[in-house]
Amino acid sequence: MADTSEPMIKSTVTGSIRMSLSLLVAVALTIFIYLWDSKIIHIDTLPDWVGTIVFFPLISVFLGYLTNCLIQYLSCKQVQWIDQLKNVAMIPIPQILIWAILNAFTNLRWPIEGLVQEWPAEQRAGISSGFYGFWIALYTQSIMNGIAQLCPEL
């Protein structure tokens, strides 16, 4: 027989809230990676790969952690801080893999770069990195937002 002394918490987080937060994170990361690869916010003493392999994953973990904690709080009225940190620690894996693939097979950038052939090479690289960065960020953040909505068993 089920214990009915504790009322079930009905989640107030809808799919549109989760998707809006995912889009917000993805757009923020897209803007960063576009600006970095276009050399608009580039630090000359750092190698080019630092932006995509270090800064992009760190920013995505930070933003992902904030949004996942917010979603879990809205869903469950509590936050499991360490569990959320463990979950978002996996976000950089697909991001680093996509950058490794793009660097190994540079012709994968051409469908996006070919749309803006009149732009300088750095901006073309930035727009293609932003495109791939947007989709990988949206995909990973959407999954993490769905996991964050699950309330823990007490």
Per-position b or e across 1-23, b if 16+ CB within 10 A of its CB: eeeeeeeeeebebeeebbeebbe
DSSP-derived 3-state class of residue 56: helix
**What distance in Å separates the CA atoms of residue 27 and residue 130, rounded to the nearest whole number?**
9
How far is the CA of 151 from the CAs of 4, 32, 36, 81, 154, in angstroms? 17, 32, 37, 13, 9
Report domain extents, the chain. 15-148
More confident residue, 51 or 5: 51
User: Please, which pLDDT band fits residue 90 given cuts at 50, 70 and 90?
Assistant: confident
Q: pTM of the prediction?
A: 0.83
User: Please, which pLDDT band fits residue 18 given cuts at 50, 70 and 90?
Assistant: confident
Residue 131 contacts residue 57 (beta carbons within 8 Å): no
The residue assigned the tokens 């947007």 is 134
Answer whether residue 105 shows pLDDT above 70: yes
Answer whether residue 69 shows pLDDT above 60: yes
